């Protein structure tokens, strides 16, 4: 019988609470964990009988205790520049899959560069950025590319009706900006490059229900890192509706209750030799959508007997079309061209 216990580090955060609920809905047993014992105990009142294990990321023995008896760990605790490596190392010591929801570009790069060799040696699969920002775009790009081995360009356009960021999102974004000295980052000529220029504004016509919107260009998210890791693409372009950018700049509001869920369409366009291939996903609430993405990933990892070890992107670790189809029509409406 498959071990169905999954540790959730950062379980009391906004996204973490969605993940805990989704694990239970899918028949898995969460282990509630994180750095703040008080917040964990408050969360635990809603889940009688569920294990609660607090641990700081600088306490390796405590992290090992968190993962005792777990089949996998999901890291929902940012900033991931601080939490990812310690939790990954604990997962490697236990020999269990690690999945996170990191949207921090630099933290994801760190995960690939620092932990791939060790994960391969331990026979452990690590999937970073398995979230709305990162995994979803990577899966859509992989599905759109299909049998193409390369593309001239991949565009990832985020059509959000708005964006009310959590406090955690703001902290993680600040960490990323500080690490790159306030510069913007883009994937041009087959590599990531930094720029001090202001992002240009243009327009993108999204499928319904978003329609034509003003967008900020080169609004690079984690999917640029994951797409570039396994797809041969000369240029990766990112677009974000200006309404969402304005919401992000306004800062966080109430961290959980009362948050207005945004509507979204994520459209990916792959281009090669004048030919276009498209894929898109639409739904509501970017934070809530992360939960079924990351939980589906864990279920597939636990159910696989031939998973490839090392640090893998969503598009590498899973059959992109099959994965997306499993989430359609709820919580995502998927259209594959």
Residue 2 pLDDT: 73
Pairing of strands 5-9, 150-160: unpaired
pLDDT (mean) for 301-305:
92
Q: Which two tokens stand for residue 17?
A: 């609470």
pLDDT tens digits for range 261-299: 899 999 999 999 999 999 999 999 999 999 999 999 999
Is residue 308 domain-shared with residue 267, that is, in the same domain? Answer: no
Is residue 127 domain-shared with residue 137, that is, in the same domain? Answer: no
Residue 259 pLDDT: 62
Residue 255 pLDDT: 47
Residue 257 pLDDT: 53
What is the span of the domain harbouring residue 28?
A: 5-131+289-328
Does residue 70 fall inside a structural domain?
yes
Is residue 190 domain-shared with residue 249, that is, in the same domain? Answer: yes
Is residue 258 domain-shared with residue 269, that is, in the same domain? Answer: yes
Does residue 333 fall inside a structural domain?
no
Residue 109 pLDDT: 96
Residue 191 pLDDT: 86
Does residue 334 fall inside a structural domain?
no
pLDDT (mean) for 159-176:
92
Residue 258 pLDDT: 61
pTM above 0.85, yes or no: yes
In the predicted structure, residue 187 carries a pLDDT above the cut 80: yes
* pLDDT-derived band at 234, boundaries 50, 70, 90: very high
In the chain, how many domains are there? 2
Of the listed ranges 14-23, 171-180, 249-258, 306-315, the one predicted with least confidence: 249-258
CATH number of the domain at 204, please. 3.30.360.10
Residue recorded with tokens 């950062």: 10
Mean pLDDT of the chain: 94
List the one residue out of 151, 149, 147, 154 whose CA is nearest residue 221: 154
* pLDDT-derived band at 183, boundaries 50, 70, 90: confident
């Amino acid at each position: 019988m498959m071990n169905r216990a999954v540790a959730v580090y950062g379980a009391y955060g906004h996204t973490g609470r969605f993940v805990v609920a989704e694990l239970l809905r899918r028949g898995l047993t969460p282990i509630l964990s994180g750095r703040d014992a008080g917040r964990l105990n408050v969360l635990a009142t809603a889940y009688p009988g569920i294990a609660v294990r607090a641990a700081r990321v600088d306490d390796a023995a405590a992290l090992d205790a968190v993962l005792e008896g777990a089949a996998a760990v999901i890291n929902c605790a940012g900033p991931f520049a601080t939490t990812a490596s310690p939790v990954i190392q604990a997962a490697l010591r236990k020999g269990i899959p690690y999945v996170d929801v990191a949207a921090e570009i630099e933290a994801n790069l760190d995960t690939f560069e620092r932990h791939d060799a060790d994960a391969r040696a331990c026979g452990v699969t690590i999937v970073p950025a398995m979230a709305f920002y990162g995994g979803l775009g990577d899966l859509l790009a992989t599905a759109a590319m299909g049998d193409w081995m390369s593309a001239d360009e991949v565009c990832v356009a985020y059509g959000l009706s708005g964006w009310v960021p959590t406090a955690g999102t703001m902290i993680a974004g600040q960490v990323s900006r500080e690490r790159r000295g306030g510069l913007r980052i883009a994937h041009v000529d087959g590599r990531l490059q930094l720029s001090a220029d202001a992002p240009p504004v243009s327009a993108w016509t999204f499928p319904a229900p978003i329609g034509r919107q003003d967008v900020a260009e080169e609004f690079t998210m984690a999917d640029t890192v994951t797409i570039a890791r396994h797809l041969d693409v000369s240029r990766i372009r990112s677009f974000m509706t200006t309404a969402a950018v304005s919401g992000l700049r306004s800062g966080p509001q109430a961290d959980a209750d009362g948050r207005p869920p945004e509507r979204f369409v994520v459209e990916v366009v792959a281009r090669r030799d004048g030919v276009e291939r498209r894929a898109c996903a639409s739904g509501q609430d970017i934070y809530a959508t992360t939960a079924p993405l990351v939980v589906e990933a864990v279920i597939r990892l636990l159910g696989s007997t031939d998973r490839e070890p090392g640090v893998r992107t969503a598009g590498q670790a899973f059959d992109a079309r099959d994965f997306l189809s499993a989430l359609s029509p709820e919580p995502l409406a998927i259209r594959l061209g």
